[in-house]
Amino acid sequence: MRRLILLIALALVAIVPATPAGANTAAGRPVRFSETGHTLAYSFREFYDRQGGLPIIGLPITEVFVEGGRPVQYFERARLEWHGDLGVTLAGHLGRWAAEGRAGEPAFAWAPAAPAGASYYPETGHSLGGAFRSFWLSGGGLATFGYPISEPFAELNGQDGRSYTVQYFERARFEYHPENDPRYQVQLGHLGRQYLAAHPAPDWAVAPVESADQAWGAIRPSHVRIPRIGVDTDIVSAGFSLGEWDVPRYTAAHYWPISGYPGTPGNIVVAGHVGYRGIIFSKLPSAAVGDEIYVATGGGERRYIVRDVLTLLPEETWVMAPTSDEVLTLITCVPIGVYTHRLIVRAYPG
């Protein structure tokens, strides 16, 4: 077993044995939470772990599904969004949603300056200080919570009927619970649950699953075929870790799970070996402009039309970069037996 370093993955994809199917690298490995019966994997798990995990984001309460043109997943306190056109996971602006219609309230009015000892954010005209500021900084700051969009104020909690000091942020609501141990006095409101109650997800996305292997199962590519040339192979997601990419040698093509997803903006990157009779992408060098490619997901097949067939050097990894439009990029090595160049087949929805 060897791991392919991302920067040289294109150079080795045809000849280096790697792991069997299944995500088994350190970052993004699928896990299942028994408390809710939902999974966490790939870019969402990497973000979740980096930005504070369970205390900050809460338990997953859905599987991944497409909403508003991008993959999303709901958690007790947040909604994670995969922006394939940028190649990043972001937390959704649930704080702004929860604060809709409240611009006229004093706490949400633009503040000209910060109180003593607080930080001021001219981007939103609000300040941040005290225990809320310490929590904001320790929990990931801007990337996790966004800018403050209110000043602290007293608000009735609908869950327990008590009043707490709260402050709204673009992606969260902070609540101050002075009765708790100092480590737990600042807590996050369950905005993920509130938003999901107001905007229900598909029934299948809310239903618990039985295993971690079902993570992202409804939207990730699972099969690719090119009828004219006889390419017909399964696709697996073998994980990613700190710039490493595991590619199955004999079993299937490999989908890079931090690229795009069918039906959403972004670059869908799939690599496969050549060099063995009937193996995976051995027929891919026969692809031509105009060929039809069909990619299966949990929701059926999506049709693409080949626009470009390129032969590049191994270091020309720009073909794996995020794209603003939906693009399918198939990669293998040429010429067979030599493997000095990369064959790139790029297709677009059609």
pLDDT tens column, 120-154:
999 999 999 999 999 999 988 998 999 999 999 99
CA dist 235 and 223 (Å) reads 5
Burial of 145 (0-12, 13-18, 19+ CB in 10 A): buried
Residue at 194: amino acid letter: Q
Q: What is the pLDDT of residues 146-204, one digit of tens each?
A: 999 999 999 988 777 789 999 999 999 999 988 888 888 998 999 999 999 999 999 99
Given a cut of 60, whether residue 312 has pLDDT beyond it is yes
Question: Hey, where are the domains in the chain?
Answer: 4-25+216-349, 31-206
User: What share of the chain in percent tops pLDDT 90?
Assistant: 65
Contact 201, 75 (CB under 8 A): no
Query: Are β-strands 266-271 and 326-334 bridged in parallel, bridged antiparallel, or unpaired?
Result: parallel
The CATH homologous superfamily to which domain 4-25+216-349 belongs is Sortase (2.40.260.10)
Helices (H), 103-220: 130-138, 142-145, 191-198, 203-206
pLDDT of residue 159: 72
Helices (H), 37-179: 42-50, 54-57, 94-98, 130-138, 142-145
Q: What is the pLDDT of residues 267-298, one digit of tens each?
A: 999 988 876 666 688 899 999 999 999 999 98
Q: What is the mean pLDDT of the chain?
A: 86
